[in-house]
Chains A and B, each alone.
Chain A
């Protein structure tokens, strides 16, 4: 049964549709990441759940109760903000204790809970420090402890790691997930960082222009993007336009080249489709006479990514990227002639009859908060 439900939520800021009828259903103890580019509506959705803003239409239901019109201080939602939000006049301990004091908990209970939470976030030693005496990562840990102190029904995290450096970000996101699993708290996490979303969530919802494009498990999101936008947004994807030639065999024509793709079976003959291929599934070898499903081309560039190297290959009008182990890539320097074998089974197809592909661009954030 769903614990947190967002039902047909709409929110406009002037002429800008920040949310255009989003539907989310999240089970108790689950971790959902709202992922999307700037201005897609993810923070607006989170703020509606927190109660800092009201929807123009739709309902927010927590544990069967409609909280759409409930004031934020009565919702029992713990929130960690993007900006450092600790109260500067209070120590870490006093910050964590704040919500408990508001709730009238007695001193001994407060002390124990604060100690436990500071230990949980690894800051048992720093309780007496003021926010300005803590690093960014430590401040966000305290903010997390503060949000958890009130035993919230839902934990809301609004890009809590975006101001931190890369190493701390990875470390902290894993800790957030550990704590979330340990406490079994229903969590809504907003981020524009797909790696972050895919690595810690039970479910990921990709948002674009105020709508949810796809909501599913991270692995499914990566391997089976449902819309051209998700395909473009999640990970890196080769996109090749082609026409269905033989639906029974799954054969496609791409500028005179014949490709066989399992996913093309049963598609209407003559349909324009987009073949989506992850770079890591492309097999690259020195040119040796093109075989089936193989494009021959020239290596244009190498991009070193640590264990793998990304090759950009030009094959006629098509441009391909392929990831291969760095040790092997050295044998195929820029300028080499190579064969790029495309996988028949792992390639995905998207119908292009709906119109051209969207361009992912940074959109202005909606006016208002």
Chain B
């Protein structure tokens, strides 16, 4: 067994500073959320009760969560085969796609949403007027860099050519090779991309607001403007829900890909 290395004192200081930076606002928000909305005095869980008994909370949360799942599904279905193909057949295109993936970073969401609204104006209402259509499309673009760079790292960590050729020589078609051989070996990367996408969609405000869809961040903003103390409890709850969603994705991914995860860990 390897001897355990002691943590340097300077590293401990930095860790402590990091912890303070992250936890102090959370603790402050928590204390604030315990104050009564009527009297402003501590301590009551009424704000939490108000949130969980609010129909709009559950409704918008459901929309955002389903939107996140839809975005993850579309992104994976779109980018996994594409990046696989690029790595296998046209590796010289990789830098081009990496550059394209950076565009959603450099174009402000406000510019993007105005452009998208203009571009898709006149499309059928099932797409343009529904979050599952227009908004999911916009979120796929927004998640592109996160998904691309996660998957790209995954593909670079395996020998795509040899695995593909080995699979083909054994009689597998492209689809079988992708699903049975490639995908299980990039599962960790796909999960990382899915986490990031989930986090982005659950917190995205600008595009949803400008395209007039009522998602979870819009609800948070509405409560924030109208009721101070419940807004704090809502913030903490949304934080907890996002983390719970990520943890459940991790559990699902682990269960299905336990062996792949073991192998990935060993590499």
Contact = CB atoms under 8 A, between A and B. Distances in A.
Chains A and B belong together in one complex: yes
Interface string B163-194: 10111111111001000110011000000000
A50 B167 contact: no
A27 interface: no
B41 interface: no
Contact of B184 (A89, A102, A103, A143): A89
Given A89-B184, A102-B171, A150-B170, A72 B260 contact: no
Interface stretch (A73-81, A165-173, A274-282, A326-334): A73-81
Interface string A56-94: 000000000000000111111111010101111110000
A146 interface: yes
A73 B181 contact: no
B263 A132 contact: yes
Nearest to B89: A369
Contact of B171 (A86, A89, A99): A99
A369 B163 contact: no
A150 B263 contact: no
Nearest to A102: B171
A89 B185 contact: yes
Contact of A369 (B161, B167, B181, B259): B161
A217 to B, nearest CB: 29
A130 interface: yes
Contact of B158 (A51, A72, A88, A103): A88
B260 A89 contact: yes
Nearest to B173: A73
B168 A73 contact: yes
A131 B158 CA distance: 13
A308 B166 CA distance: 43
From B167, B184, B185, residue with most partner A Cβ within 10 Å: B167
A52 interface: yes
A88 B157 CA distance: 12
A193 B168 CA distance: 27
A146 B264 CA distance: 22
A150 B171 contact: yes
A132 B171 contact: no
A188 interface: no
Interface string B43-68: 00000000000000000000000000
Contacts of A149: 170
A85 B172 contact: no
B162 interface: yes
B165 A103 contact: no
B181 A87 contact: yes
A98 interface: yes
Nearest to A104: B171
A147 interface: yes
Contacts of A87: 163, 166-167, 181, 184-185
B165 A81 contact: yes
A77 to B, nearest CB: 6
Contacts of A81: 162, 165-166
Contacts of A98: 167, 170, 172, 180
Contacts of B163: 85, 87
Contacts of B180: 98
Nearest to A78: B169
Contacts of B176: 102
Contacts of A71: 168
B90 to A, nearest CB: 12
Nearest to A75: B169
A147 B167 CA distance: 10
A103 B171 contact: yes
A79 B173 CA distance: 16
A87 B160 CA distance: 11
B263 A88 contact: yes
B169 to A, nearest CB: 4
Interface in A22-51: 50-51
A81 B185 CA distance: 19
Contact of A79 (B166, B260, B267): B166
A72 B165 contact: yes
A146 B170 contact: yes
B106 interface: no
Interface string B233-267: 00000000000000000000000010110111011
A360 B160 CA distance: 33
A81 B166 CA distance: 8
Contacts of B172: 73, 98, 102
A151 to B, nearest CB: 11
Contacts of B181: 87, 89
Interface of A: 50-52, 71-79, 81, 83, 85-90, 98-99, 102-103, 130-132, 143, 146-147, 149-150, 156, 369
15 contacts: A50-B169, A51-B168, A52-B165, A73-B168, A74-B171, A76-B171, A77-B169, A79-B169, A85-B166, A88-B267, A89-B263, A102-B171, A131-B263, A132-B263, A146-B166
Give 6 nearest A-B pairs by CB, closest first.
Answer: A99-B170, A89-B184, A132-B266, A85-B166, A79-B169, A89-B260
